[in-house]
Structure 1
Amino acid sequence: MSEFNSNLQTAKQLAIKAAAQAYAPYSRFKVGAVLTLKNGDTISGCNVENVSYGLSNCAERTALFSAIAQGVDLTEIAQVTIYTPSDEVYSPCGACRQVMAEFLSAETPVISTSNGGEQHWTVSSLLPHAFHFDIENYRAD
């Protein structure tokens, strides 16, 4: 097994464990996500629902926000791996795509796995022509 496939299987297993922690009483669709850093460290996230559905948070955003809260250098994120408990492979939602475009390199691999397979993208292929703001040169006068 290649190193990539071995790392992907490890990330998928961690995403499955993260999904088990999800709070999803409304959809009953527990999703896990794992950020793999270039040094091999990982940060997990799961979806957390709320009765006011707009206040829910997806697994991908939970993992990214956790990385930010932990002070992780986001340029060190090598890959995002998602697990959905289904036979079909699902792509990240639009909100997660925009958040990934905000914080990750356009070429960061995003891999969605399920019981039925996997699909690979990059951040830029998931959200072509993403909205960006040049915060470095922003001046509030």
Structure 2
Amino acid sequence: MATDLKQAATDVRENAHAPYSNFKVGAAVRGASGAIYAGCNVENVAYPEGTCAEAGAIAAMVAAGETELTEVYVIAGSALPVSPCGGCRQKLAEFGAGDVPVTMATSGGVEEYTTLGALLPGAFGTAHMEG
């Protein structure tokens, strides 16, 4: 894991809009080009309408014209590293292979390492869409 990805996730976490939960999350993904895209959670008073940090980072990557990610870093101010939610696991799997490294971290410095494949075994993919 490169320190630039960690720094991007850490920095963007400070921009999170979390007035209801006060639970700020930052995420950064590295595109195949090597560029880093960051996102933070954005809450809405109508809770289901919020946006996860991982989804924001993916949206920034796609908006920049990239569709493949090669590394993921997620950080939150929690006692234990926070795993991407189920929906974000599927979103990440849309743009990354099973062996893509994922680092989940706390703002206190605890890190846990895994892969997209380990986070979402049996991910729904394009092969499922074939008739």
Same fold by TM-score greater than 0.5: yes
Moved >6 Å (runs of 4+): none
Q: Could you tell me how far apart the structure 2 residues matched to 1:127 and 1:137 are?
A: 20
1:1-141 equivalences in 2 (<5 Å): 4=1, 7=2, 9-74=3-68, 77-114=69-106, 115-134=108-127
Q: TM-score, normalised by structure 2?
A: 0.89
Alignment TM-score, normalising by the size of structure 1: 0.83
Counterpart Cα distance in 1 of 2:128 and 2:65 = 19
Query: How far apart in 2 are the matches of 1:38 and 1:130?
Result: 21
Residue identity matched to 2:121: P
Query: Equivalents in 2 of 1:131, 1:72: separation in Å?
Result: 21
The number of aligned residues is: 130
Mean Cα deviation higher: 94-103 or 128-137: 128-137
**Shift in Å, 1:87:** 2.8
SS of residue in 2 equivalent to 1:50: coil
Shift of 1:81: 0.6
For residues 41-99 of structure 1, the C-alpha deviation after alignment (integer angstroms, 9 at most, x for no partner) is 2111000111111111110111011111221141xx22001111123111111110111
Give ranges in structure 2 of 5+ residues lacking alignment: none
Structure 2 Cα separation of the partners of residues 100 and 73 of structure 1: 11
For 2:34 and 2:93, how far apart are their aligned partners in 1?
Answer: 22
Percent identity of equivalent pairs: 38
CA RMSD of aligned residues (A): 1.9
Q: Considering only CA atoms, is the larger Rg found in Structure 1 or Structure 2?
A: 1
**Runs of 5+ consecutive residues of structure 1 not aligned to the other structure:** none
The structure whose residues are more often helix, as a share, is 1
Aligned-partner Cα distance in 1 for 2:60–2:7: 19
